[in-house]
Amino acid sequence: MTDLRPPNTTADDPWSSAPVAPPTAPPTAPPTSWPVPPPAVVDPRRWGMGDIFWGLGIVLLASTLLTLPVAVSGVATNGVWVTLLGALGTWIGFAGWPVYCSWVKGLGTLKADFGFRMEWYDLFLGVAAAVGALVVNVLLGVIEQQIDVRPETNTQILSDNANTGLGVLVVGAIAVLGAPIFEELFFRGLTFGAVEKRFNRWAAFVVSTVLFTLLHAQPASTWLGLGLMLVHIGVLGVTFGLLRLVTGRLGPSIVAHMTVNGFATLVVLATSIG
C-alpha cells in the first residue's frame, strides 16, 4: 500500500515511533560580570550635632533653676553652696545628656559611644601632657610680665571659696574630680564624636577645643586681658584635644585635666594662705 503522507510529517504523527525533539527553552540574559555593591552600612549611633546644643541648653537651664532660689533668698553669691549648686547644674548637662544619648540613641555604653575608657599608662601620658601645658602657660606668663601686661585668670571661683575649710573641700572636689570627668565627657566625648561623625576628626579637634576655651572664659578688666586668658585656656584645650585625637579615648585627657586643675587649686590655696 502506498504511503500518501507528505514528507517530514513524522513528528506530527502521534502513532509514529520516531523521537520528538523537546521544546527549546526561552533565551536567557547572559550573566553579568559587574560586581554587586555591598549593602550600605548604617551607623547605629543616632546622636549628633544637635545634641551639643541640647547639652548646653540643659547646662544653662539646670544651673539657673538650682542657683536662682539661693540668689533670690539673699545668700552671698560667692558662697560655697551656690558654687556647689552651680556645679551640679553644669554636670546635669555635661554628664547627664551624654549618658542619655548613649543609652537612648547610641550603643548603650559610654565606652563604645564616646571613648570613655582608660589604660594603665594613661596616668603617665596625662600627667606628662599636663606638665607640658603648664610649662607653656608659665612661659606665657613670664612674657606677659616682661611686657608689663596684667595676666587674667579664670580661677576666681577657687579664690572666693578658699577662706573656709568646707569651701576648700567642696571646690577642690569640684575642680579636681568632678569637672575633669564630666567636662571631658561632654567636650572630648559628645562634642568631639558628633563633629567627627558629621565631618572629620580634625574638625572635631578644632570645634571641641574652641568650644571648651570659650565656655571657660570669665569677665576680664580689659580686652587684652580677655584675649590672654583665652590663650592660656586654649593651651589647655589643645592639649586635652590632642590626647583625645591621638589615643581615641578620654582617659589621658581626664588625667591631664585633673592634674592641671589640681595644680591651679594648690596655687590658689597657697596664695590665699600666704
Q: Under DSSP, is residue 230 helix (H, G, I), strand (E, B) or coil?
A: helix
164-204 residue pLDDT tens:
667 778 888 888 999 999 999 999 999 999 999 999 999 99
84-99 residue pLDDT tens:
888 899 999 999 999 9
Give dist(CA 150, CA 144) in Å, integer. 7
pLDDT at 96: 96
Per DSSP, 175 falls in state I
Helices (H), 115-250: 122-146, 156-160, 165-173, 179-184, 192-198, 201-215, 223-247
Give dist(CA 154, CA 150) in Å, integer. 14
Annotated domain spans of the chain: 110-273
59-113 residue pLDDT tens:
999 998 988 877 677 665 556 777 888 889 999 999 999 999 999 999 999 999 9
